Amino acid sequence: MTFTAFKSKADACEAAAAKMLDGLKTALHEHGTATLLLSGGSTPAPAYKRLAVNDLPWHDVTVGLVDERWVDGDSDASNTRLLRESFLEKGAGPSSFIAMKTAHDTPQAGEADVNTAYSVFAAPDVVLLGMGPDGHTASWFPDSIGLERALSDDPSLFAVAIDATDCPVAGNHTDRMTVTLNVVKAAKTVILLITGEEKRAVLEDIEANLPIHRALAARKDDMEVIWAP
């Protein structure tokens, strides 16, 4: 992996936005369209705002989520809402956004529909990942139900349901939908944006073999890690 440390979170977000922009420009130049998968959380929101103001042909970009909580789109916990407020409404509105949350009662019930919709991201151009203190990325929580399917090499799986009931880091929203390791593995550019000494230590503890390390291994260490204290 390529590890770059920045002095501040603002600088890290600026760098992440620049990396995403480069990946999108390359894809648009090479085949006229681009696909982009973005993570939730407060850390990357400033990067999304910086990316959105760029003068790109956003109507040629298809945007999706790395993962989503099974909540309504107007919930404070919704990654769709975060993306709408920090990215789509900041300049990237003309892009085609594919949500992960369906009208089904559970992510398990909605999985087939989301998996079909997310087949467009079978080999995305740009993916921005985050990471939790337990070493999860996307919604690949250690010991969660559905994790093995998410990390499997089944070529038909692009999105799977996760039950993170016994995973403290998941908080009150344990029903999730997430992209699979296949998607991350096949991406042209993968960026991991993290902050804090704790997360850096988790990332560097390769022998722990946490989900983030599975992602690194699948990428053969071809991942841009952007970090700030």
pLDDT digits (tens, 9 = 90+) for 156-170: 999 999 999 999 999
Which residue would you say has higher pLDDT here, 221 or 38?
A: 38
The arithmetic mean of pLDDT across residues 86-99, rounded, is 98
Q: pTM to 2 decimals? A: 0.98
If you average pLDDT over every residue of the chain, what do you get?
Answer: 98
pLDDT tier, 123 (very low <50, low <70, confident <90, very high otherwise): very high
SS3 annotation, the chain: CEEEECCCHHHHHHHHHHHHHHHHHHHHHHHCCEEEEECCCCCCHHHHHHHHCCCCCHHHEEEEECEEECCCCCCCCCHHHHHHHHCHHHCCCCCEEECCCCCCCCHHHHHHHHHHHHHHHCCCCEEEECCCCCCCCCCCCCCCECHHHHCCCCCCCCEEEEECCCCHHHCCCCEEEEECHHHHHHCCEEEEEEECHHHHHHHHCHHHCCHHHHHHHHCCCCCEEEEEC
Q: Note the pLDDT tens digit of each residue in 163-195.
A: 999 999 999 999 999 999 999 999 999 999 999
Give the pLDDT confidence score for residue 169 in this predicted structure.
Answer: 96
The phi, psi pair for 158, rounded to 5°, reads: -115, -30
For the chain, the domains span 2-228
8 Å CB contact between 18 and 104:
no
8 Å CB contact between 176 and 68:
yes
Q: What is the CATH number of domain 2-228?
A: 3.40.50.1360
